[in-house]
Amino acid sequence: MVEYFGELLEGFAFTQNGWVQSYGSRCVKPPIIVGDVWRPRPMTVSWAAYAQSLTQRPVKGMLTGPVTILCWSFVREDLSRQSVAEQLALAIRDEVCDLARAGIQVIQVDEPGLREGLPLQRSKWEEYLDWASRSFRVSTSGLPRKHRSTHTCATPR
pLDDT for 156: 47
The predicted-structure confidence for 49-100, as pLDDT tens digits, reads as follows 999 999 999 999 999 999 999 999 999 999 999 999 999 999 999 999 999 9
Q: Which fold has domain 3-152?
A: TIM Barrel (3.20.20)
Among 39, 48, 37, 40, which Cα is nearest to 101's? 48
Domain locations along the chain: 3-152
Q: CA angle, 23 as apex, 62 and 84 as ends, to 5°?
A: 50
Q: Counting Cβ atoms within 10 Å, is residue 87 exposed (0-12), middle (13-18) or buried (19+)?
A: buried
Cα(57)–Cα(53) distance, integer angstroms: 10
The predicted-structure confidence for 99-113, as pLDDT tens digits, reads as follows 999 999 889 999 999
Whether pTM > 0.75 for this model: the answer is yes
CA torsion, ordered 11, 107, 114, 141, to nearest 10 deg:
80
